Amino acid sequence: MDPVSCIALATGAYKTLRGAISAGDDLMSMGNSLATWGKAVSDFTRLEERQKNPPFWEKTFKGSDEENAILIWNNRRKLDEMRESLRSEISFLYGPSAWDEILRIEAEQRRIRKEAAYKKQEQIDAIINFAIGCFIFLLSGGILFCIFYFIGKYQGRW
């Protein structure tokens, strides 16, 4: 997922949650929206961590570092505002223990997701890095072969 998709998903779930809370719905009936919001925040946090040490192919072919930094900073502020708003409303309606329980469940889900989904992405990045390395190696070998061939041909050795 890219940061824009994560923020769009989080914003949609946040608006749904805010509307349900304003309407007086029970927190239990908002479980799917809360899970969607948490997943989007988790994905964005993973992308933010990944930007600190991006794979080779992202460093080479993606946009500028300044653009990514501003985008991440701006979106991080939006997510922090959403989190604070949800925390205050849930704590007000259900007590501080409800928010603490949500944080505990969120940490557990993040750990499980990190072990499963994020490892898959790391494997894909490793395969892409390997493929790019092999391509560069073969291209360099081909160029060297051509150079030696033409030097040999020029000197009349073959």
- Cβ neighbours for 11, distance < 8 A, ≥ 6 positions apart: 78, 82
**Domain extents for the chain?**
3-118
Give tens-digit pLDDT for 1-12.
677 788 888 888
Give tens-digit pLDDT for 35-88.
888 888 888 888 887 777 776 666 666 666 677 778 888 888 998 999 898 888
pTM tops 0.95: no
